[in-house]
Every structure is written in structure tokens, then in C-alpha cells.
Structure 1
Amino acid sequence: MNRQDRADAVDREMAVSLLPDAAVQALGRWWSENASAHADGTPGAHTVRYAPSRWVQITPWPSALALTSCGGDAGVSRAEVASAVADALRREAFREALVATYVWGKGKRGTPGGSGPAALRKILAAEGLDAALGSAVSALREHGSRQAYAVLHRRVPGLGPSFFTKFLYFVGKTVSSATGPQPLVLDRVLAKRLRQMATAVGRASGYDLDGCVATWVWADGNWSPHRYEVYLSFMHAAAWPLATAGRHAHHPTCSNTPCSPPHGRPPADGTAREKRCALLFPGGVWVGTARWRLHRSSRCRTRRRPGAGAVRTPGRRQQAAGRSRPPSPQ
């Protein structure tokens, strides 16, 4: 097996094992503590604080956000951002939609001269931005989330996956994906959690004994379209057992489309049928707030340790095959 084969094998193992008990328990604790703030069963009330005056040089400025002439802090909820993006899409005001999602994603983090307003100004000045955003919206509608991600991947200088997936996430509240699940946010915090899970699964299955494959595919950024598709599939599948069991059935990242089970399983009765199965995390952000741990990833070694070339599979040992293949999708 080469590195991509091992990555694919770990992905398959994760698709079977799904969430570890520690994560499920942490989700239950989070929901018990926060259910009252999400009475409608969606993350719409989740609000981010920001300082409008920091963004005074940003145009176009969405009307859903507080005026930049206002002093102090303001708040904007997911529901308000979703409404602002829906309005912008109706007018094909893609820049305005991006600004709303970027301010929500950044909040009060960053510095005026660094990340935040300065970075957004550079993104808004990029050549071909409108065409890229419009093409991503069309790709989601006509093809699906992976293709929409691929349109923006490495397309606009300064606009990386951590923020353009926020744009896609809110676009997905208005535009249905042609195939597959709706877009979710994928950022460095989520990638770290998935890297922890992949490390534990890879070690247990023997496909990634030292965690190097997990470190490679779940890096801190610049994930490939293939990796984003794997991520969406995993999140969708991991949510389904909780929904069918009636646990956290209305937990965040629901849309108003019927719940569609993975792998052709019949839909569950009750509340799990009412909304889509991406229920686990509010746009993919919850993982960073719940407190749970997996085995720490060992540091990726540049020199192969003795025996690392032999990949252990359940019930046997298989010597890695040194066949060549095209550049990997990660």
C-alpha cells in the first residue's frame, strides 16, 4: 500500500467506527447545557460578537450587520447571516454574501493590520472574485458540494477553505446541493479533531501506525476537494445513528430538507425525519467547543522506523505494495 491507499483504508475504517464514545458523551453534555438556547432545534440563535467600526473600510456592507459607524460591539446570529446571504443571492450580490459570512466567521478575532478586515480587503480586491463566487453557487446547485468546493479551492488569493466553506455553508441554506449532503464548515479546529480520530483509528487498524497519514490528510488547511467530500460523508454518517436513536435529533446543522439516511437505510420515525442528518455540529464548529480527547498523534517521522512498511490488517500482515499511481487526491 502506498500512502493514498492507506489514507483510503483509514477513511473506510472511520466510516465504520464513526464517533468515539467520548465524542458522543461530550455532545450529550453540550446539548444538555445548551438546549434551552436552541429551542427550535437549530443553531440559528448562535450569535457571534464583532466590532463594526473595525470593518469601516469594507464594502459592500450587508444591511443585516450593524452600521460601521456604530461604536462598541454588536452581535449577529446564524439565522441573521443566513437571511442576509439569501437576500444577497437573490440579487446575485455575491461579495455582500461573502462579507456577511466572513465577519460572522472572524468575529472579534484578528487585528486591524493583519487577519480580519485587512485580509478581507485583499480578498475583495482579487481579480475574478465575483466570477469565482458565482461559479461556486452554480456548482452547488448543478453538481454538489464537492464541486462547489473545488471551484473555490486555490482560486482566490487569501480566501482559504476555513472561510470559503463558511460561505458555502450559508449558501447551502438557500441553495440545495444537486447531489450528496449540503456544505458544512471545515476549518483548522475541525481538522485537528478529525486528525485525532484518524490517528486512533489508523493505529488500531494498523493502516497508520505512527499517525503520518492522518497528519497528511487532516492537515491544518488546504484540504483537497476529495478530502472535503470524505469529511461531508463522515459527518452525515456519524449523525445518522444519533438521529435514529432519538438522541440530539434536532441538534445543529439541520436544513429543512427531509432526512436522507446514508447507505440507503430506511428513514427513522419521529423527529429525525423532519430535518437533514447533518445534526452533529453547528456548521461543523461544535467540535472545537466540546471537551473530549483521543490518543495524541505521534509526531510524523521523516525516516521510516523498522517495520513501518508492513501494514497490519485484521487477522494478517500484508507487505506494502510499491506500485505507482497518479498524484493522490488526499
Structure 2
Amino acid sequence: MTSTFESQDTFTDQAINEAHRAALRSIARVVEETTPPTPPEQALQQVIEQLDLGPALVLTGAGVSTDSGIPDYRSPRGRLSQHRPMTYQEFRHDPAALQRYWARSFVGWRQMTGMRPNRTHYALVELERAGYIQGVITQNVDGLHSAAGSRNLVHLHGDMKSVICLDCGYREERGHFDQRLLAANPTYLDSIRLDPQMVNPDGDVFLSDPDIARFAMIGCLNCGSHRLKPDVVYFGESVPAERKQATSQLINDAASVIVAGSSLAVMSGYRIVLDAQKQGKPVAVINGGPGRADHRVNTLWRTRVAPAFDALLDELDL
């Protein structure tokens, strides 16, 4: 699914389309095995040694939430094989894509709200309380770290709790927005046959074209615009400056970095590893599949995330 954005300004057209193509390249990035993993027992001990250096920063990705029932994108069975997420440029300039997203998200969002933290989320809370980690930066938008009780937490890409108008900047709480959508589409949910296994990491689901066409979109409460987007960072969009600053502070304050459940295919996550290494800090990756930084890190623990954190808690008597 690609889009061409039309306007009266040819230069603007070209810039929009190039940004959209760059976002599509980022989505499609293939991450392959490049480096032999660290032997499991050695990996466990090396991560323990990292934690003994002082409080670590943990960067989490979709692999932390898969045990809560939320799929990832880039594993062999990940959603990228069946679904491409929206780009920021589509939210701004493609009304058909916007209609499609909100119809699908209206159905899928209530599935996401039923997800609960899993044992990895709670393990990170225990490690934070014990002083082994000083903060968590998550690339996930599901809000499960907050629900589990993580305190020093940066949502690098935001979360799904609010909706923002791209014309006037007005923000609306997602639950209130959903109630307005429900009032505009009172029989819609009952008419949809949903496979809960088809919910995507960004909260939308597959719907047929006729189902999308009959969905009634609503406007911004402040200005009436339909150019509304979940207040999260989509492909082709920059991380807000205040989150970049908070991320830099956490890297500066940490003794080391542990990446959990992320391929680091997106630059905003990969850059955290690069910045930590520029400061001479060790980095460990705990992940079930290949990652963009595997060839760079001190410890590459190829394992499912949840058993790894169970082992860490046992080793630390937590």
C-alpha cells in the first residue's frame, strides 16, 4: 500500500512524498543475523556484571509485550508480513488512509485496552525498586509499563491514551474520543466479526473495504478537522524534543544499557545504543531474534525475554 500526495505546491508535494518513501523504507527494513550470540550462561553472568556496575537503563521493544498478547512486527510471524502501519504523512495528507485507520482502530482499540502487563513488565519494576535499573525507555505504545508500576519511564514514541488534531493541536483523551466514535457508529461494533489474534501492535485490525467505507468519522472538538492521529510517533515523524532530552539524561545517568525485546530497526532506538557506546558504557541485548546492533554490543543473549528476566531475578535473589 503506497500513497501519492497531491497539492498545488509541487515542491511541497515532492518533500511529502520523499518523507513518506523514507518512512516506508524504515518500515520495510530487514534485520538479519550477523553475529554469533553469547553462550546463554555466559550471557546471564555478563548481564549480572553489568547490573553490578550501577543502575542500568533498560530500553524495551515489542518483544516485552508479546506475552501480554500484543504481536510484534519483525519476528518471523510478526505483523509486517500481513500489515503495514500508517505513516505520519498518510495521517496528514491521505484522507482515504485516515478513514481506513480510524475504522480499524475503532474496533481494535478496545482489544488493546484489555491487555495486561506480563511477568517481564513486573520484573522490571522489581529491578527498579531494588536499585538495579534507574529507568526504562520503551518504544511500545501499549502503556503496560505504566500499568505494571514502572516509575522512571520514558514513552519514546508516546502512548495511546490521547488523540491529537494535526491542524490545531488540540488533544482529547482517547476514552472520550472513543465514546464520540461510538455515538456516531452505534451499531458498527456489533456488525464486525473480529479475530482477536489479528490486532496489530498499533491497535488496529483488518477490515473489509465495505466495512471501512460505512464507518462514520468524527471531527476535532476544537476545530472540526478530521485530521486526527493517536498522540504517538509514527513512521516518518520525529520524536518530540522533550523526550529526546529525557532519553539523553537517562543515558548519561546510567552505568550501562540493556535492550530487551527490540530489533532496534528504528533509528530512535538504535541511536540509544550508539550514544551509550560513545560514552564507553557496556550494552547488552536480550532478544529472541536478530537486531540491528547485534554486531556492536558486549552481550548478545539470544532468548525469549521473559525467561531471561526470570533468570536475572533468581540470580539476584529478588
TM-score bracket for this pair, using the shorter chain length: under 0.3
Q: TM-score, normalised by structure 2?
A: 0.26
Structure (1/2) with the larger strand percentage:
2
Q: TM-score, normalised by structure 1?
A: 0.26
Larger RCO (CA under 8 A, 6+ residues apart): 2
Structure (1/2) with the larger helix percentage:
1
